[in-house]
Amino acid sequence: MPKVDDVAKRSMSAKAFHEKAGRSQVDSVLASWNIVVLFAE
């Protein structure tokens, strides 16, 4: 049974990592878009 727990923990941390990476990617896109808007005005 410990093996199942390890796999579950690993998949959860991997999911959390991907969610965090996706969020920072979106943040950087929004930040660069804000810079473009500021320069356009």
pLDDT profile of the chain (41 residues), mean per 10: 74 78 81 78 65
3-state SS, 6-35, equals HHHHHHHHHHHHHHHHHHHHHHHHHHHHHH
What is the rounded CA–CA span in Å between residue 21 and residue 10?
A: 16
Total structural domains within the chain:
1
Cα 26–chain centre separation:
8
Residue 29: the pLDDT is: 84
Residue 10: the pLDDT is: 77
Residue 2: the pLDDT is: 62
| pTM for the model | 0.37
24 φ, ψ (degrees, to nearest 5)? -65, -35
Domain that holds residue 26: 1-41
